[in-house]
Chain A
Amino acid sequence: GAGVSQSPSNKVTEKGKDVELRCDPISGHTALYWYRQRLGQGLEFLIYFQGNSAPDKSGLPSDRFSAERTGESVSTLTIQRTQQEDSAVYLCASSLFSGVVGEKLFFGSGTQLSVL
């Protein structure tokens, strides 16, 4: 597609349920990021995939959070046993990787997660 696509755009769930968020990056982009943005706050890094390298999971806030990426395409972020503090916009971004200088990120429109 033309841009980064995220689904669903909105997700309302009950506390304790599991949720799965999906990200389709721009074709050919080897780098993929997940960020969390609470209302009125900054972007909190969650996880970074780059090609076939081991992902950088250093931002995942707890073992309830996990993410996978299939090759250099779609990624899913899974939150188990959701808590109210998980409510936020989850943003996915992708970029090329030149290996020389950093590449710019293209963001999706995000998934607004509300945990009741």
Chain B
Amino acid sequence: GQQVMQIPQYQHVQEGEDFTTYCNSSTTLSNIQWYKQRPGGHPVFLIQLVKSGEVKKQKRLTFQFGEAKKNSSLHITATQTTDVGTYFCAGRTGTASKLTFGTGTRLQVTL
């Protein structure tokens, strides 16, 4: 079945440093979404990418969808303590198919 892996599993950075998480799917995706889960909370939608090679920005967050639509990345510039949480990518192989979540990357930010 479809597998979505993320690396790293965990990253600890000092506030102000950059952070990147990478997402790789075993199958070609029709679209990819990113979610953030704060400690003790539930996942909250961040963004969706649909087109091959697409790049989207949200303030300090930059999201990319690979040319082959099998991988994606999330880059955070100058992390803040409010960025703490687990970041999940999630992909579909078709518009009507289930959404499969990646393994997640837990980000810890310290002062």
Residues from chain A with Cβ under 8 Å of B79 in the complex: none
Q: Residue among A35, A100, A107, A109 with the most chain B CB within 10 A?
A: A107
B50, A101: Cβ atoms closer than 8 Å = yes
State which residues 40-79 of B face A: CB under 8 Å. Answer: 42-45, 48, 50
| Chain A residues, Cβ within 8 Å of B45 | 104-106
**B99 contacts the other chain (Cβ, under 8 Å)?**
yes
* A43 and B98 within 8 A (CB): no
The answer to whether B44 and A42 touch across the interface, beta carbons within 8 angstroms, is: no
Q: Is B100 positioned at the interface, with any CB of A under 8 Å from its CB?
A: yes
Return A21 CB to nearest CB of chain B, in Å: 15
B interface size (C-beta, 8 A) = 24
B104 within 8 A of A: yes
Chain B residues, CB < 8 A from A98: 95
Known contacts A100-B95, A101-B48, A105-B45; A35/B101 CB under 8 A: yes
Report if A70 contacts B (CB, 8 A).
no
| Other 13 A-B pairs with CB < 8 A, given A102-B31, A105-B90, A110-B42 | A43-B43, A43-B88, A58-B1, A99-B95, A100-B95, A101-B48, A101-B50, A101-B95, A102-B95, A104-B33, A105-B35, A105-B43, A108-B42
Give 10 closest A-B pairs by Cβ, nearest first.
Answer: A104-B45, A43-B101, A107-B42, A48-B98, A42-B104, A102-B31, A42-B103, A102-B92, A56-B98, A107-B43
- Where the two chains meet, the residues of B that have a C-beta atom closer than 8 Å to any C-beta of A are 1, 30-31, 33, 35, 42-45, 48, 50, 88, 90, 92, 95-104
User: What are 25 sample pairs from A and B whose C-beta atoms fall under 8 A apart?
Assistant: A33-B98, A42-B102, A43-B101, A43-B104, A45-B99, A45-B101, A48-B98, A53-B96, A56-B97, A91-B43, A98-B95, A99-B96, A101-B30, A101-B48, A102-B31, A102-B92, A102-B99, A104-B45, A104-B48, A105-B43, A105-B45, A105-B99, A108-B42, A109-B42, A110-B42
Chain A residues packing against B (C-beta within 8 Å): 33, 35, 41-43, 45, 48, 50, 53, 56, 58-59, 91, 93, 97-102, 104-110
